[in-house]
Structure 1
Amino acid sequence: MTRSGFSGHLGDGTMEDKRNIQIIEWEHLDKKKFYVFGVAMTMMIRVSVYPFTLIRTRLQVQKGKSLYQGTFDAFIKILRADGVTGLYRGFLVNTFTLISGQCYVTTYELTRKFVADYSQSNTVKSLVAGGSASLVAQSITVPIDVVSQHLMMQRKGEKVGRFQVRGSSEGQGVVAFGQTKDIIRQILRTDGLRGFYRGYVASLLTYIPNSAVWWPFYHFYAALTPLS
């Protein structure tokens, strides 16, 4: 069924008659449209908010107010130093996290179907599927986030983060994926493969419980929703 734009099923057809939420079973969903439109909509949102994500990251990492006095000051200084492209450093790499959103939904639905062979409890199915979906999504997202965040910290003229790509300190331009390769090599050389999973456990402890609890409550309250 669709739930907040995503799909799944009740496991109990009698409940559908008590709800004013339109039910679309996963097997009846147009997968091509779902994945294409889902990625397109998320991309539009990402384009809008990414500059503020970059600014937030720099503000969190800087020592005191060594670089920026606040959000507006950071916005102006980045524009002056690097232009609009400076607000989108690491954006191309970050877009690969869109894959995790689709994997989340797919994992959720397939896990629900699998668990249904062992339990008809909607709560059990939603809890296991929600936790599994977040596990898969974060396993994809964290390494991409690590690389993109290092790219966000690239600033002409001085070193801001742990790593610096060739050409940044001299103010020379480096093609986007050239910077990405450089950052990946530096992470591997300094931290090994584990360097791509910094904060992974913290992410799992944040998102898995949230997702595992959210879906059972969604089904519970959706079942109580009367027809209008």
Structure 2
Amino acid sequence: MTPAPAPPAAALAMTTMSTTTKTAPAPAAPAVPAKSSPGLLVKLACGAFAGITGTLIIYPIDMVKTRLQNQSTNQYRGMVDCFRTLVRTEGARGLYRGLAANLVGITPEKAIKLAVNDTVRARLAARLGVHEDKLPVAYGMLAGATAGMCQVVATCPMESAKINMQLAATRAVAGQPPKSLAQVVSELGIRGLYRGTAATLMRDVPFSIMFFPLHAWLKSQLAAPDGTVAFGSVFGSGLAAGWIAAGAVTPMDVIKTRLQAKAANAPAMSIRECFTTIVRNEGAGALFKGWLPRCMIVSPLFGITLLVYEAQQRYLSHIG
């Protein structure tokens, strides 16, 4: 048989080039540097700004809540009646009495609460090797409890001053203006400002244990397939988690309000004494006085605060 002719050199070259082209790996895309998460100081600043924004919006409801929780009689027939009475007797400005004390205190309080929870969650997630949104519930509760314990340093004196300012008009001597913030703080002193610290802890730690993991879980349920969460979902998660957690700890909030509302020279009362006095004189239902305005305060406050906080975090991460 006649052997088949050898292929031309040009054909061999083309075949070699074709084979080389098919097997050569595609050039790797240039690596995009990972964007670092904002540091603790930046988180503190974001939390402070977010807290101030939320407080300015919902403060009048907070005034109504304090008046309802502090009444031992049926002076007000409900939230709406309390609001109308305040406006009629003290004017619209009366709804914002004590706002300065709240703004001064809410700055470190919200900064500490949000930043500590965020930081602890990040460190626990890094230690476990998971994403923050996938952090086990027990670890999320631990992060929330840590935030709740740390924030009491700012929360207790802020709320003591705020509550006494909110009640100043009801204690004013006829013909004299209500006491100023400086006068209230001076009368209370350091011990008075930190009255009710244990009750504040017993309210804020359980609140944070419930709120932060629930908020994180709701966000994860509302996340898109690629893991992104819309701002509306962040806000809605904050609303729902805040409402549930605030309602659950209302009894301790009532006790805390009663303890902090006592006059500066009044004898100290323990949590147990306050609890038994309320139940004995007003019934167990009194422990839930003001639960509706409290939920109406905390729910939008944390919804707005977390929305602003999340927006700041995303922006800083984007430009970082």
Q: Mark yes or no: TM-score above 0.5.
A: yes
CA distance in 1, matches of 2:200, 2:41: 33
- C-alpha RMSD over aligned residues: 3.7
- Pair 214,138 (structure 1): closer, same or farther in 2 beyond 3 Å: farther
- Say whether 1:184 aligns with 2:197: no
Structure 1 unmatched runs, 5+: 1-22, 160-167
- Pair 209,81 (structure 1): closer, same or farther in 2 beyond 3 Å: same
CA drift at 1:94: 1.1
- Pair 87,126 (structure 1): closer, same or farther in 2 beyond 3 Å: same
CA distance in 2, matches of 1:30, 1:135: 19
The equivalent of 2:37 in structure 1 is 26
CA drift at 1:226: 1.1
- Pair 50,217 (structure 1): closer, same or farther in 2 beyond 3 Å: same
CA drift at 1:92: 0.8
Q: 2:174 aligns with which of 165, 170, 176?
A: 170
1:35-114 aligned within 5 A: 35=45, 39-66=48-75, 68-95=76-103, 96-114=105-123
CA drift at 1:221: 4.1
Contact 1:135/1:204 (<8 A) preserved: yes
SS in 1 for 2:88: helix
Task: Give a deviation string over 1:12-31, Cα, whole Å, max 9, x none.
Answer: xxxxxxxxxxx975248993
Contact 1:147/1:180 (<8 A) preserved: yes
Which AA in structure 2 matches 1:45? G
CA distance in 2, matches of 1:211, 1:75: 28
- Say whether 1:134 aligns with 2:138: no
- Pair 71,183 (structure 1): closer, same or farther in 2 beyond 3 Å: farther
The equivalent of 1:164 in structure 2 is none
CA distance in 2, matches of 1:216, 1:52: 26
- Pair 193,69 (structure 1): closer, same or farther in 2 beyond 3 Å: closer
**TM-score computed with the length of structure 2 as normaliser:** 0.47
Which AA in structure 2 matches 1:83? G
- Pair 183,196 (structure 1): closer, same or farther in 2 beyond 3 Å: farther
SS in 2 for 1:201: helix
Which AA in structure 2 matches 1:172? Q
Which entry has the higher C-alpha Rg, 1 or 2?
2
Structure 2 unmatched runs, 5+: 1-33, 229-320
- Pair 215,174 (structure 1): closer, same or farther in 2 beyond 3 Å: closer
Identity %: 19
CA drift at 1:198: 5.1
CA drift at 1:107: 1.3
CA distance in 2, matches of 1:87, 1:109: 33
CA drift at 1:82: 2.4
- Say whether 1:153 aligns with 2:167: yes
Contact 2:99/2:162 (<8 A) preserved: yes
CA distance in 1, matches of 2:168, 2:181: 13
- Say whether 1:143 aligns with 2:157: yes
1:213-224 aligned within 5 A: 213-214=213-214, 217=217, 221=221
SS in 2 for 1:195: coil
- Pair 130,44 (structure 1): closer, same or farther in 2 beyond 3 Å: closer
Which AA in structure 2 matches 1:132? T
CA distance in 2, matches of 1:90, 1:218: 34
Task: Give a deviation string over 1:72-131, Cα, whole Å, max 9, x none.
Answer: 333333233322221112111111223222212321233245445643353265443333
